[in-house]
Structure 1
């Protein structure tokens, strides 16, 4: 008898169906020789700071950094019932071993480890590692279960990632919030991503468009164009010089070029294209893709590979045989068979590229939502493109001379569309309304143009154009920037992972939006005023994409056993300590840049605003010592503390009526007017009883 733990109920049910575990129990399914249960995603997270020490309930800069010596996990309240089920199962004496069937990746290891450790189980662990929820893939996976110890390095990287996020997030958020008296949420990956948004927004706002001019000469059915000119009078002069003059064709050069088919999708490129084609957010794409995976339409979603392995060649050929039946816009003759183009064993680590499954052919496409259908078709057409022939086109360059000035143009003509036939069919089916990238003017160069020709002059035209500003990030372009962030800081041999992982980038973008640091405007992602304010005060090391990308690379090396967890965590701890030390050195006047104070009145000595502090109401001028103390010798005997209402009236009228003074002589309360008097810039009080009517 063995136990199988999936990441979600839907996955567990699919596994149970293959394993024959059909008897429903409370929180699990049971069969003759196995029990299948589920984790509900992350059942446990690292505890909040106040769990380690009561004093952390109050945010104080003096208590930082918070560096747990022993890390504690806490079960989410809404998931405790399922954890209790798992704890009991993991400690059953009749079980031989437990199979970790959580998603085959870093986070799947972490989800299982936390439940296993908290249950204090001693069951041997085996690992199910599959890339598809198809029945055959599940059967093959259970026939080739791995020893759980083989994934210890991957698990250690997952643990270190979670600890690093906690240490940087908790300490930096508290440090900058208490330093600037303004809530500032800081994250290891989130903050560098926000910094990229802010940097791009500054470039857009600071861009000053510049006019430039070009002269166009009509030649047969196309135009040749001059070089760019900054001054309009230069363009006007060139128009006059060329007016009526013949055009001499200096050179016509024709070259055939090829554009190879695109690679298969990994998660990030799929999210980018889904945003570009349909406007779906990265999180929407990941959510729907996960559903497609669990329902056996596609292979494992959270992949960073764009290739398949050599042993998959035959199974992919079988998918290609039925692909046109799954894609209504793609006839059989459009689908190529060049599977060798997408095979690269070295570039497949944990999971191969995204593919439709053979199981999808047996299912009803009508059961899918619009988003799911769009994403499934995207994955299918990409496979069809990737195994098709290259597109061949003829590029023609024409250079000409008129009035001793050079003119030129380029033209393209499709010779063989190749894979682009599939792309065009998909675009027409998707009714894509917005083109990707910038539109280029298509120039058609006639075949009868040749070197040395003289063309009779016609009327030249002056064109005024403007330099284009950089575009704000869309989710498509931001995902690309996150993927390549910090690459320039590494040598060519270093494997680069950028900011976050394919599995976490969508979540980072959603966090920026939900925290109020970024906002969606159509397809654009823009930083908010709060986001810009946060980035303006953070040190470079927190905003650095290169540093965070370096940490991701170190985690990757840890997965391979090349870096120890101790070394990685020492670096993170040292970084946090330096961060706190840097916060402590921020000048006092800088710390109040966001502190919005409410003036309660004007100083009777110098006229400056008076603000409320913890112990007094003080003059804002550094050269003035005026203050009204909340607790004073004069008032303490009458059991009275100066409050904001009293202070406002004293500043405005010079007196305030108090109805609850205490008399030590009579033991009773009484009413009197408290009057403000000045001795230089020092405040004193006296009492006046209201006259009886």
Structure 2
């Protein structure tokens, strides 16, 4: 009896099938050696839109809110229905008596599998494959240690709560504020607090008043010392003049050996921040590059929030490090490997830190795209650094007295580069610092030094910096941390797996824009984004509340918190928002209402058809006629309904379509699309072909 293995992507299915010797290619799956290996294509099954629950939800009305489904409905999109039907057929085969869930080992991977499993009404037992690498050895080890699917029920419950809470907040808040303010305003449980962070940062920058300050620098033989900041220019210039006439007396000398520990390994957020700072990649680009490397078996699982490895990996690390050094640093030198620095079982949750694999160390990397190679080199370098020895330096701090003022100087010289021998200045964070490879001369307390030169330097206080991708990711990670328990495992907005998508959606919906040079891009809220945060109530834009919800989702994963209780909190918050929210006074100045664009006459009642957020609707609210932008009929023929097409359909009742695609055969065709309405006033479509109708 074959076992059915279901992965998240075709490429992962091929990797697993190869290890399992399931090499026979079939329609939508691979077969062999007692296994059937098939795949999803991302989210095959998704939450149904509001109009699936009640047709009146097709139009956005405040009086219909809140929409809180008692029994959740799901749908399969036309674009993925073919693969869904293949999975359904495989699950229902009489010779298949059990399944293996091999989707990505995390919250979203669990959700993808379970939704397909339940939508197919499958009741057969299943086991869970949980791996952090797609290397052949890792896959074999994973199949030797499959776990009962029931052990991941809490993970599935957390995934459901995340998905459904996002739906409730997004659907209700988006409709509420869009209707009240006459604009399409996309609201999200995590998206809106993230936008609020950027708006508050820009407000702090705008309110900042720069003030000048002055310092006096005195030059002695071999080093320079600086005074404290002085507010008065006249006072600073006088001090500089006095110093030229005086000697500097050494009042304090401190010398010490400083050891700088190696950095931790990468989790996804830290990797995204480094790649943005060093290469200018967006968070989404870095995630895409790392995911591709994972599927090519060159790095371990990317969507992790851990920066440590587990004890069972300790024996593998020394050899992996030496191979990595040889591959990426072209050196046969044996480097020190302190494995214990990166091992901590207690700080590994679902997955360990991101590291390169032996496959990466044994593969010709020249064929890799430039972005993937750059990210792989970052990950490889971080592994070598993390197990390295400390960087040691001799540091000297000096205080001097000159013209009755205190001057200070510091000097440092590296005595053992240690882990820093493998990195550049950008990665060490020293790219903006003045180079100072020399130490302070050998001076002693009480010595009198000749002042060779004294100058007054002017400076200005600077405002906070605009958010870059790197600093916004850090702010998301730390948001609300001060209000969270010390032992909270996950703090902040979103998760490592979702933060990139949140930023991209804010840019796509024109709430944020990227500005600046090619490498350093700033994320600046648009006027639309600033206006939205201005009218949003605290509970929607609160970073601490959203961070608290993320912590509760993690508690649900661990079976420590009730999913029903979590959903109850979300529903209560949205119900209160709909009931009590008051429009901000003078909001029309802040956010002028969009004028409704007329595109034609309603074929049912003759009133104007106007454009809305989701489609084109009859101005007569009691009329059911609507043309939806996300139209399932158009999706089924590989097309998207545009404003131009909608206008022609209303004017002529038909529109010529080129390059339509058959969902059954995949072939393309041309036809005339005809608009009709049924007895209830709803839009219906049919295709007219030469030589007959379909």
TM-score range, shorter chain: 0.7 to 0.9
Task: Indicate how the Cα distance of structure 1 residues 533 and 510 shifts in structure 2: closer, same or farther if over 3 A, else same.
Answer: same
* Paired position in structure 1 for 2:497: 503
Task: Indicate how the Cα distance of structure 1 residues 188 and 334 shifts in structure 2: closer, same or farther if over 3 A, else same.
Answer: farther
What secondary structure does 1:333 align onto?
coil
Return the alpha-carbon distance in structure 2 between the equivalents of residues 154 and 3 of structure 1: 22
Question: Cα deviations across residues 293-332 of structure 1 (Å, max 9, x unaligned)?
Answer: 11111111111111111111111122123112320x3534
TM-score (norm 1): 0.83
Structure of greater Rg: 1
Return the alpha-carbon distance in structure 2 between the equivalents of residues 509 and 60 of structure 1: 29
**1:513 matches 2:507:** yes
* Paired position in structure 1 for 2:363: 363
Question: Cα deviations across residues 557-608 of structure 1 (Å, max 9, x unaligned)?
Answer: 001100011111001101111111232x33675467523588xxxxxxxxxx
Q: Is contact 2:183-2:593 (8 Å) kept?
A: no
Return the alpha-carbon distance in structure 1 between the equivalents of residues 333 and 107 of structure 2: 40
Return the alpha-carbon distance in structure 1 between the equivalents of residues 337 and 590 of structure 2: 64
What secondary structure does 1:291 align onto?
helix
Higher deviation after alignment, 556-565 or 483-492 = 483-492
* Paired position in structure 1 for 2:24: 23
* Paired position in structure 2 for 1:662: none
Task: Indicate how the Cα distance of structure 1 residues 337 and 435 shifts in structure 2: closer, same or farther if over 3 A, else same.
Answer: closer
Return the alpha-carbon distance in structure 2 between the equivalents of residues 494 and 324 of structure 1: 36
* Paired position in structure 1 for 2:570: 572
What secondary structure does 1:460 align onto?
strand
Return the alpha-carbon distance in structure 1 between the equivalents of residues 380 and 331 of structure 2: 12
Q: Is contact 2:490-2:554 (8 Å) kept?
A: no
Question: Cα deviations across residues 253-274 of structure 1 (Å, max 9, x unaligned)?
Answer: 1111111000111111111111
**1:36 matches 2:37:** yes
* Paired position in structure 1 for 2:467: 473
**1:595 matches 2:592:** yes
**1:381 matches 2:381:** yes
Return the alpha-carbon distance in structure 2 between the equivalents of residues 222 and 592 of structure 1: 59
Q: Is contact 1:554-1:568 (8 Å) kept?
A: yes
Matches within 5 A, 1:383-532: 383-424=383-424, 438-440=432-434, 442=436, 444-521=438-515, 522=517, 523-532=521-530
What secondary structure does 1:419 align onto?
helix
Alignment coverage as a number of residue pairs? 594
* Paired position in structure 1 for 2:318: 317
The structural deviation recorded for 1:92 is 1.2
Return the alpha-carbon distance in structure 2 between the equivalents of residues 359 and 179 of structure 1: 56
* Paired position in structure 2 for 1:169: 170
* Paired position in structure 2 for 1:128: 129
Return the alpha-carbon distance in structure 2 between the equivalents of residues 136 and 448 of structure 1: 58
RMSD of equivalent CA atoms: 2.1
Q: Is contact 1:179-1:591 (8 Å) kept?
A: no
Return the alpha-carbon distance in structure 2 between the equivalents of residues 57 and 552 of structure 1: 31
Return the alpha-carbon distance in structure 1 between the equivalents of residues 442 and 379 of structure 2: 43
TM-score (norm 2): 0.83
The structural deviation recorded for 1:230 is 0.8
The structural deviation recorded for 1:396 is 0.9
Q: Is contact 2:183-2:594 (8 Å) kept?
A: no
**1:343 matches 2:337:** no
* Paired position in structure 1 for 2:120: 119
The structural deviation recorded for 1:447 is 3.2
Return the alpha-carbon distance in structure 2 between the equivalents of residues 587 and 388 of structure 1: 57
Task: Indicate how the Cα distance of structure 1 residues 259 and 434 shifts in structure 2: closer, same or farther if over 3 A, else same.
Answer: closer
Return the alpha-carbon distance in structure 1 between the equivalents of residues 513 and 584 of structure 2: 32
Task: Indicate how the Cα distance of structure 1 residues 330 and 470 shifts in structure 2: closer, same or farther if over 3 A, else same.
Answer: farther
Question: Cα deviations across residues 330-380 of structure 1 (Å, max 9, x unaligned)?
Answer: 534373211111000100111111111112233221221111111111111
Return the alpha-carbon distance in structure 2 between the equivalents of residues 433 and 494 of structure 1: 29
Higher deviation after alignment, 352-361 or 555-564 = 352-361
Higher deviation after alignment, 67-76 or 239-248 = 239-248
What secondary structure does 1:257 align onto?
strand
* Paired position in structure 2 for 1:619: none
Question: Cα deviations across residues 378-424 of structure 1 (Å, max 9, x unaligned)?
Answer: 11100000111001112211111112221111121112111000013
Return the alpha-carbon distance in structure 1 between the equivalents of residues 584 and 355 of structure 2: 56
- Decide which of 528, 534, 537 is 1:536's aligned counterpart: 534
What secondary structure does 2:442 align onto?
coil
Return the alpha-carbon distance in structure 2 between the equivalents of residues 354 and 296 of structure 1: 12
Task: Indicate how the Cα distance of structure 1 residues 417 and 207 shifts in structure 2: closer, same or farther if over 3 A, else same.
Answer: same
Question: Cα deviations across residues 461-486 of structure 1 (Å, max 9, x unaligned)?
Answer: 11111112211111111111111111
The structural deviation recorded for 1:433 is 11
* Paired position in structure 1 for 2:549: 551
Q: Is contact 1:100-1:112 (8 Å) kept?
A: yes
Task: Indicate how the Cα distance of structure 1 residues 335 and 479 shifts in structure 2: closer, same or farther if over 3 A, else same.
Answer: farther
What secondary structure does 2:171 align onto?
helix
